[in-house]
Amino acid sequence: MDRHKLFADYINNHPEAIGKVVDFDADHDRLYHFDLTAANKELTAEVINKPWLFSQLVSDKLHDNNCRYGIGGYMEHRTIYAFSSHFDTDDEPRRLHLGVDIWSDAGTPVYAPLDGIVHSFQDNNNIGDYGPTIILQHDLDGLPLYSLYGHLSRKSLEGLSVGKPVFKNQQIATFGNADENGQWPPHLHFQLMFDMEGRQGDYPGVSRFSEKETWQKNIPDPGLILRFPDAVNVG
């Protein structure tokens, strides 16, 4: 059977098994939708190439719209990766964002939304990369699922070991700052995979746009776990 359907069926049939990724309160918090495509004219080359300017833009948007968190990015074709050679390839550059970004302050707690174990972790310490990264492994009634948490604080990697149990709603990390998270504004890259394809501590979060259909087969929509309401984008 199709893994995407099995995943969706599990979510629908076991709502009690799904916890939180961040402390979002649907009764009181609003979400700001960040558009990181070419349509966003505020993302000038100067902003993208200066982490402090990019961070200020994110912070101002959240504050001005009275939003505790921002969100966006699943299968979004972005222009912002031009600032780092990390995303360049010999032919088509990588610009398709495969996960979801959750934007908030450095130090924001991150939680495991499902029971599982630590699959792997490492500091992907390159400009534009994930920085400190944790990958968890879950078993959804026989369906393997992996969840990736990128752009964390370095402290988040302390005390981890492969195979260590984690439990729903257990805090596993905090958002990192630009000095440790790959030089990004503080945020969490949250991504799901059915198959790690032999990788440890890392999995592509940005791909070539021409390969979108291939990546979608292995990367389900994180929104099924997050269950966030619609985001606002008013200014």
Share of the chain above pLDDT 70, in %: 91
Q: Is residue 231 part of a domain?
A: no
Residue 85 has pLDDT above 70, yes or no: no
Residue 84 in domain: yes
> How many distinct structural domains can be found in the chain?
1
CB–CB of 195/215 below 8 Å? Answer: no
**Is 234 part of a structural domain of the chain?**
no
Q: Is the pLDDT assigned to residue 86 strictly greater than 60?
A: no
Residue 76 lies in a domain: yes
**Alpha helices (runs of H) in the chain, residue ranges in sequence order:** 3-13, 45-49, 51-64, 212-218, 223-226
* Domain of 134, in residue numbers: 3-226
191 belongs to a structural domain: yes
- CATH number, domain of 42, equals 2.70.70.10
The three state secondary structure string of 37-103 is: CCCCCCCCHHHHHCHHHHHHHHHHHHHHCCCCEEEECCCEECCHHHHCHHHCCCCCCCCEECCEEEE
Mean pLDDT of 103-108: 96
Query: Is residue 232, in this structure, part of any structural domain at all?
Result: no
pLDDT tens-digit map of 157-166: 999 999 999 9
